[in-house]
Structure 1
Amino acid sequence: MSTPYPFTAVVGMADLRLGLLLNAVSPAIGGVLVRGEKGTAKSTAVRALAALMPRLAVVPGCRFSCDPAAPDPACPDGPHAAEAGSGAVGGETRPARMVELPVGASEDRLVGALDIERALAEGVKAFEPGLLADAHRGVLYVDEVNLLHDHLVDLLLDAAAMGASYVEREGVSVRHASRFLLVGTMNPEEGELRPQLLDRFGLTVEVAASRETEERVEVVRRRLAYDADPAGFAARWTEQESELRERIATARALLPEVRLGDGALRQIAATCAAFEVDGMRADIVMARTATALAAWAGRTDVLEEDVRRAALLALPHRRRRNPFDAPGLDEDKLDEVLEENGAGDAPDPDDDPPNPQGPSDGPDGPGDGPDGGGPDRGPGGVPPQDDASAPTDAPADSPAGPPGDTSGEEGAGPEPSVPQQGSGPGEGRPAPATEPFKARTLSVPGLGEGAAGRRSRARTAQGRTTGARRPHGALGKLHLAATVRAAAPHQRARGRHGAGLRLRRDDLREAVREGRESNLVLFVVDASGSMAARQRMSAVKGAVLSLLLDAYQRRDKVGMVTFRRSGAEVVLPPTSSVDAAAARLEALPTGGRTPLAEGLLTARDVLRVERMRDPARRPLLVTVTDGRATGGVEPVPRARRAARLLAAEGTASVVVDCESGPVRLGLAAELARDLGGPAVTLEELRADTVSALVKDVRRVA
């Protein structure tokens, strides 16, 4: 096992370290979601946390890590107390586990699986624990949680909320305890989590690479030193790691004594009400976080500064209402609410003075960072931290205010550059989009086998059962009736006597299910001069934004190609981040000729590459144009040949006709016929009728 990078050697990133440490002190907070750009050492910091967790006393041989002092009475490996002959159970100690959930994990790998063959043949509950059992009383880490299938995220968060995992299969039921520190990391550029899933994470922190030269130098220096000698590098931080581990244990012991007074509770409730967060989970998480902050600072009373810091950690992601909203919190409004609702309960003057290294100084106490007091700060603080896994730190150019503020962050990633606009006809600043509207479902015909989603019909692991088949590889969902029918004719030949069923591997049948898949929706948008009238382009952007909103809700990948002047540009390669698509659409300029053929051919190249990357994901091409072709040599014939080429490759298409005025040339309808799909006017699209037309889209062989 490789030596993990020391937590205390991570540079900066005070919010990230504080969020992780608070959950280590109080796992009831509900975990932390770490949002940030790639290469910001999110994974390194999380993996380093496991080494700081206190050692666990466990029942020997228990696959579910039961606590000897309070074993789970429903543990599948129990009852442990009865085995010991008394109420006490002997135990052993081991380090807390850090379990990673891969993005491609199956449901059985997450929750565990029953040995169906033994259950049917022998009538025994042969249960193989999953990752939720392995993570009990430890850390469960999900990298790229936004790319995890929705039903797995639901199972994961349900277990985190209930502290238990339930497996129900074909009449056999297993339940076991599953309490863990949940940590998820994600890059918003690759797609957002649904708001209801965001709400299930207790805290969220934003991370970004430092823009300070010296900090970046220190990151690289430490990383190179670690790569050259991991064990030696970690040994130099042993004392600091031990101090931090002791501080976590001390804060855990102090936590039950922390008093959350009525004044602090009133501030918490008023803050959640003022920011209009849904439900009561935010209030509870804020209360637990403020209590943990006080314990971390060595106090037994919750102060206003604890409430404020708790709000900055617990509320930003709960303010995300619409898919294109960036998480954030108005700090001025937060300060006004706290001031209006009075100060929190003041500590008794006879009590010990508050620890000066309180939460306002971050997890490391005063002077944290490269300008702090060095690695040997004393037992109350944590040495300055540098990330060694990637050049990361708290962003130097982030908005002013305490760590945790995300009001200036954009979930859609870096702001796209706007191409230089000329002075020709139709040139001007990008037109704003009109308000989006609700669109009906666009779907690709036929039956696919792509990733689970909510758009087109497909064979999936979830959905209604439509038949049975022999399993390919590991058995998935058992089709019980089909299995019994397959085994029944052979019972006499197999010497069956009594009620037991003689079952063999060849008898097993798995269910064939039909559900919905996600698709690749590729937009080809005409940004030429003929589209440059601000009113028309605003309407076009509003229509595309509406379809993007639909794609977000149906868990699709999206991409965008635009064409203007003399060529086409892939402004957004296929991605799961509809936020990024919306940002690039908003900044889209217009003007110049209409190279329609280049736009279609560029789209064909994008689809060709995506078919090689993900052959199971079926595409839907949405071309937004008035049908004119004025750029290049023989523009109209070339555009028609490009359209027929796409149709011949079986690409499902729809054309949104943006032509306006009393006299229409019908060029978009001709393009749609060449593409083998329907055409719908912009007015009809805004009337929510395009989706019904797309359902009738046909493939052209």
Structure 2
Amino acid sequence: MSDARYPFTAVVGMADLRLGLLLNAVSPAVGGVLVRGEKGTAKSTMVRALAGLLPSIGTVADCRFACDPAAPDPQCPDGAHGGAGSLERPAHLVELPVGVSEDRIVGSLDLEQALAEGVKAYEPGLLARAHRGVLYIDEVNLLQDHLVDLLLDAAAMGRSYVEREGVSVRHAARFLLVGTMNPEEGELRPQLLDRFGLTVEIAATRDPQERAEVVRRRLAYDADPAGFAARFAEDERALAMRITAARELLPKVELTDTALRQITAVCAAFEVDGLRADIVMARTAVALAAWAGRTEVLEEDVRKAAQLALPHRRRRNPFDAPGLDEEQLDRTLEEHAGAEEDGPDDTEPDTDPDGGGPQDEGPDGGPDGPGGGPQDEGPDGGPDGSAASDPAPDPAGAPEQAPPPPRPAPGAGREAAPVAGADPYRTRLFKVPGTGRGARGRRSAAETDGGHTVRARRPQGRLARLHLTATLQAAAPHQAARGRSGRALVLAKDDLREQVRRGRESNLVLFVVDASGSMAARQRMGAVKGAVMSLLMDAYQRRDKIGMITFRGTGAELALPPTSSVEVGAARLEQLPTGGRTPLAAGLLRAHEVLRVERMRDPDRRPLLVVVTDGRATGGRDALAQAERAAGLLAGQGVASVVLDCESGHVRLGLARTLAARLGGPAVTLDELRAEGVAALVRDHRSVSTQRKAA
């Protein structure tokens, strides 16, 4: 069967994604593109197809770092390449798997050569292979944060720095960076979002005719890949020639003072942090002009550059979807479209002809001027915030839309309408006691692939991270007995030692929220939702998975299965209705079942149970006893728990604290949840841990 790729020009629709990829092909300095969208929308297909459109590259023969024969890298680890031959090959498409290690990305010491020949040798990683090609990260939001940081640093600097295990190497690493993600599976941190040059929101078309054409083309490709590719071969050649022509035109494009003034005014009006957005917008506008075959940047280029470069940089709350206020953008562009000979200080049409700098007149396009700031207007450009000029319907924000509210629990009875939560705040840090082995995060102590090395040990299973110094120390006393001669080291399997690194892990934070009538007072439920929202934000920042169980009436419901998408959890919480009885035991038993299933799916991810209740239990004379037995079941499984005590009023029964004692964890009131007084909470955790060990 042919290995012909699906043609780039055969993809139906996706105008913004197509443009974002092509602009980066024209000018990799734009900084890459992040593609956000629901599953099954041809994200990966388009990225893989793009590599076939890039011009072939000339490389120095036998150079592992793809040096250009016309201008070889003077710091290339393979040498100066004096008199070396050259060859021409297609640009590489390097795909980064989700489970990739740091060693595989940046390269590492060639241990086989080091131990056998006694010399230091560097084995290149994927960054070296991607140089002058495409680096594609599928599901970038599932990649560990420190690896994303490393990749984005290399993409920004155009060079990879390796300082590890006695190896010090620097090599060129300039590539077209493309990341794809499904927001339903979790978000990237805002700091990482900002490092991507452009972002594009996509969703499957809702037009039946377009969907039919997508299916028709895919079936034709599956039946005859080579024949299908041949149908679009002429279009592919034309597009590849246009990319080459735009690259050649790029250095000749002029960024006028007027266009630059519009770019900086737009970034100031939308209150983006730092100056990276201004630089990216400028590079994108220049690339747009070159793509259009022009040598001057126009206002339409600035507008489109803003639609691609700003939506993901305007986020101020982790639960807000990216977006751009199109009306505000139009106003700001119009206000700063004056003639460029007026000078950068003359931003108003009636400026004093004798001058007067910005301190005299004051800019009018900033967040407090007529252009308005994002907090004055609010994003009304739709969840995708882009492609206003695209006539095709674009429901690109579908993954970010709030999900439907949970179905009422059986027997819920009369329920109160959902109430808005109070403003979130910084909470105390809740940790799982002990040391885990879960995925890297920012919550509980764990042995991780990153972090700092704390000791060495004999390998437990397959050797993952060699501790070179400890291995040499273990082998050194036996060299004479093993008949060592020359520089080669004689090793035995028992000499090998691996690193033990200490860092932090992410956890599964499972919320069990009381939505019964006893919690239904509007002022009280608003405070409770604000507290849970604050804990959700904390889970987002610490890279946790979250789940949510609600109980009321006669049963409990899994309102949100464990997921990395904290945004969905926030939406479910906002829509949470209240009313009915308080089946506390049902909520705890449902939590036990959910944690049992998750333990089988991901045994290394430790759970933290957060029970939000006033401790009341109704539904029969033994309802409270049933709840205590359910709590004992969870405690017997070693589940770390915290009870958020929501009881209020002058007379308090202390039921939530009794429940916390049964669960083996602390009880924290709403007032005590705030970040002040962390030391007291740590003492509570230590006390509980000591009591468990004594028992």
What TM-score results when the alignment is normalised by the length of structure 1?
0.87
Q: Is the 8 A contact 1:594 1:628 kept in 2?
A: yes
Are 2:253 and 1:258 aligned?
yes
Give the letter aligned to residue 21 of structure 1: L
Aligned to 2:143: 148
Are 2:442 and 1:454 aligned?
yes
1:674 deviation in Å? 2.0
For the residues of structure 2 that align with 1:408 and 1:215, how far apart are their CA atoms? Answer: 15
After superposition, give the CA deviation of every residue in 1:621-673 in whole Å (9 maximum; x if it has no partner): 00001111113684223222211111111111111111111111222122222
Are 2:467 and 1:479 aligned?
yes
For the residues of structure 2 that align with 1:396 and 1:659, how far apart are their CA atoms? Answer: 38
SS of residue matched to 1:277? coil
Are 2:535 and 1:547 aligned?
yes
1:413 deviation in Å? 4.8
Aligned to 1:78: 79
Aligned to 1:7: 8
Q: Is the 8 A contact 1:188 1:413 kept in 2?
A: no
SS of residue matched to 1:324? coil
1:36 deviation in Å? 0.8
For the residues of structure 2 that align with 1:33 and 1:397, how far apart are their CA atoms? Answer: 13
Q: Is the 8 A contact 2:201 2:384 kept in 1?
A: no
Are 2:578 and 1:590 aligned?
yes
Q: Is the 8 A contact 2:57 2:90 kept in 1?
A: yes
Are 2:577 and 1:574 aligned?
no
For the residues of structure 2 that align with 1:579 and 1:261, how far apart are their CA atoms? Answer: 41
SS of residue matched to 1:146? helix
Q: Is the 8 A contact 1:117 1:503 kept in 2?
A: no
Are 2:278 and 1:277 aligned?
no
Q: Is the 8 A contact 2:409 2:552 kept in 1?
A: no
Aligned to 1:601: 589
Larger mean CA deviation between 491-500 and 118-127 belongs to 491-500
For the residues of structure 2 that align with 1:56 and 1:531, how far apart are their CA atoms? Answer: 66
1:483 deviation in Å? 2.2
Q: Is the 8 A contact 1:32 1:204 kept in 2?
A: yes
Q: How does 1:61-460 map to 2 (within 5 A)?
A: 61-80=62-81, 82=82, 84=83, 89-119=84-114, 122-342=117-337, 401-402=388-389, 409=397, 412-419=400-407, 427-460=415-448
SS of residue matched to 2:149? helix
1:345 deviation in Å? 6.4
Q: Is the 8 A contact 2:118 2:487 kept in 1?
A: no
SS of residue matched to 1:622? strand
Q: Is the 8 A contact 1:421 1:428 kept in 2?
A: no
The count of corresponding residues between Structure 1 and Structure 2 is 647
Q: Is the 8 A contact 1:568 1:599 kept in 2?
A: yes
- Inter-CA distance 687–240: structure 2 relative to 1 (3 Å threshold): closer
SS of residue matched to 1:23? helix
After superposition, give the CA deviation of every residue in 1:508-564 in whole Å (9 maximum; x if it has no partner): 322211111111000000001111111111111111111111111111111100011
Aligned to 1:41: 42
Larger mean CA deviation between 123-132 and 5-14 belongs to 123-132
- Inter-CA distance 23–655: structure 2 relative to 1 (3 Å threshold): same
Larger mean CA deviation between 446-455 and 303-312 belongs to 446-455
For the residues of structure 2 that align with 1:222 and 1:96, how far apart are their CA atoms? Answer: 26
Aligned to 1:665: 653
SS of residue matched to 2:76? coil
For the residues of structure 2 that align with 1:144 and 1:661, how far apart are their CA atoms? Answer: 48
- Inter-CA distance 241–414: structure 2 relative to 1 (3 Å threshold): farther
For the residues of structure 2 that align with 1:107 and 1:695, how far apart are their CA atoms? Answer: 35
- Inter-CA distance 403–530: structure 2 relative to 1 (3 Å threshold): farther
For the residues of structure 1 that align with 2:268 and 2:410, how far apart are their CA atoms? Answer: 49
- Inter-CA distance 396–493: structure 2 relative to 1 (3 Å threshold): closer
For the residues of structure 1 that align with 2:7 and 2:672, how far apart are their CA atoms? Answer: 59
Aligned to 1:616: 604
Q: Is the 8 A contact 1:261 1:344 kept in 2?
A: no
1:682 deviation in Å? 2.3
1:25 deviation in Å? 0.5
After superposition, give the CA deviation of every residue in 1:280-334 in whole Å (9 maximum; x if it has no partner): 1111111110000001111111000000100110011111132122211111111
Q: Is the 8 A contact 1:411 1:579 kept in 2?
A: no
After superposition, give the CA deviation of every residue in 1:457-505 in whole Å (9 maximum; x if it has no partner): 1111222322101345665444343223212211222344688755555
* RMSD of Structure 2 on Structure 1 (CA): 2.6
- Inter-CA distance 283–601: structure 2 relative to 1 (3 Å threshold): same
Q: Is the 8 A contact 2:428 2:675 kept in 1?
A: no
Give the letter aligned to residue 3 of structure 1: A
- Inter-CA distance 491–398: structure 2 relative to 1 (3 Å threshold): closer
Aligned to 1:19: 20
Percent sequence identity is: 71
Are 2:637 and 1:649 aligned?
yes
After superposition, give the CA deviation of every residue in 1:249-271 in whole Å (9 maximum; x if it has no partner): 11111111111111111111111
Give the letter aligned to residue 542 of structure 2: R
Aligned to 1:465: 453
1:159 deviation in Å? 0.9
For the residues of structure 1 that align with 2:149 and 2:383, how far apart are their CA atoms? Answer: 35
Give the letter aligned to residue 206 of structure 1: E
For the residues of structure 2 that align with 1:458 and 1:539, how far apart are their CA atoms? Answer: 33
Aligned to 2:374: none
1:506 deviation in Å? 4.0
Aligned to 1:30: 31
1:676 deviation in Å? 1.8
For the residues of structure 1 that align with 2:589 and 2:410, how far apart are their CA atoms? Answer: 25
SS of residue matched to 2:510? strand
Q: Is the 8 A contact 1:37 1:413 kept in 2?
A: no
For the residues of structure 1 that align with 2:615 and 2:43, how far apart are their CA atoms? Answer: 47
For the residues of structure 2 that align with 1:472 and 1:424, how far apart are their CA atoms? Answer: 52
After superposition, give the CA deviation of every residue in 1:45-90 in whole Å (9 maximum; x if it has no partner): 111111111111122222211111111122222321x1x1xxxx53
For the residues of structure 2 that align with 1:488 and 1:6, how far apart are their CA atoms? Answer: 58
What TM-score results when the alignment is normalised by the length of structure 2?
0.88
- Inter-CA distance 93–500: structure 2 relative to 1 (3 Å threshold): closer
Aligned to 1:349: none
- Inter-CA distance 397–487: structure 2 relative to 1 (3 Å threshold): closer
- Inter-CA distance 136–530: structure 2 relative to 1 (3 Å threshold): same
Q: Is the 8 A contact 1:595 1:632 kept in 2?
A: no
1:421 deviation in Å? 9.8
Aligned to 1:514: 502
1:450 deviation in Å? 0.8
Aligned to 1:57: 58
- Inter-CA distance 95–473: structure 2 relative to 1 (3 Å threshold): farther
Q: Is the 8 A contact 1:328 1:408 kept in 2?
A: no
Higher relative contact order (CA 8 A, sep 6+): 1
For the residues of structure 2 that align with 1:116 and 1:421, how far apart are their CA atoms? Answer: 60
SS of residue matched to 1:205? strand
For the residues of structure 1 that align with 2:501 and 2:544, how far apart are their CA atoms? Answer: 20
Aligned to 1:370: none
